[in-house]
Amino acid sequence: MSVINFIGKNVKIGNNVKIWNFAYVGDNTEIGDNVTIGSLAHIDYNVKIGNNVRIEGLVYIAPLSVIGNGVFIGPNAVLTNDPYPPSNRMIGVIVEDSAALGAGSVIKAGIKIGRKSVVGMGSVVIRDVAPETVVAGNPAKSIYGRDVYEVKKKLWEQDVANYR
């Protein structure tokens, strides 16, 4: 079985990068070390991706976006680059180090997702997200800090009384 991917011109790919089936990586994109890109992901042109990033399947990352180190982007997340489509001026999304975007989240063009912040699944982000903040909803609103998130995550992983 052959794997068909499209890798554009002048793409820089770091060490230990895994690109799954039917993915697209546009021209002039830079991908750091230890990155995984899921099946059917579309990483458009002029995107910068840091090290130790995990991008799940069906993700769309718009041109001019910058993804920091240690970022997780869940399946079917969309990062946009045109706040007033269709316009002649584009701006990417910035996702800072160690942030996580839940499945199906949509991030408006020009938004900054702060360091160690979390965007809940299905959220629509139309304003910058402060570092170490968890946001959810449509439009996304702050629901608690990253410290609370880490406690909830730990309890979930330990299956403490079927914690949800």
Residue range 132-154: mean pLDDT, rounded: 95
What residue type is 146 in one-letter code? R
Ordered domains of the chain (ranges, CATH): 6-162 (2.160.10.10)
Q: How many residues does the chain have?
A: 164
Please state, rounded to an integer, the average pLDDT across all residues of the chain: 94
What does the pLDDT read at residue 1?
A: 44
With a cut of 70, say whether residue 141 has pLDDT above it: yes
Of the candidate ranges 14-23, 34-43, 153-162, the one whose mean pLDDT is the lowest: 153-162
Digit-coded pLDDT (tens) for 95-131: 999 999 999 999 999 999 999 999 999 999 999 999 9
What does the pLDDT read at residue 159?
A: 79
Q: Given pLDDT bands bounded at 50, 70 and 90, which one contains residue 163? A: low
Which residue is listed with tokens 């949509």? Answer: 106
Residue range 148-155: mean pLDDT, rounded: 90
Tell me how far apart the alpha carbons of residues 4 and 15 are, in angstroms, rounded to a whole number: 20
- Please give, one letter per residue, the 3-state secondary structure of 115-126: CCCEECCCCEEC
The model's pTM: 0.94
Comparison of pLDDT for 4 and 138, the residue scoring more: 138
With a cut of 50, say whether residue 152 has pLDDT above it: yes
Residue range 69-76: mean pLDDT, rounded: 98
What does the pLDDT read at residue 158?
A: 86
Distances (CA, A) of 130 to 27, 39, 81, 159: 31, 30, 20, 29
Residue range 37-57: mean pLDDT, rounded: 98
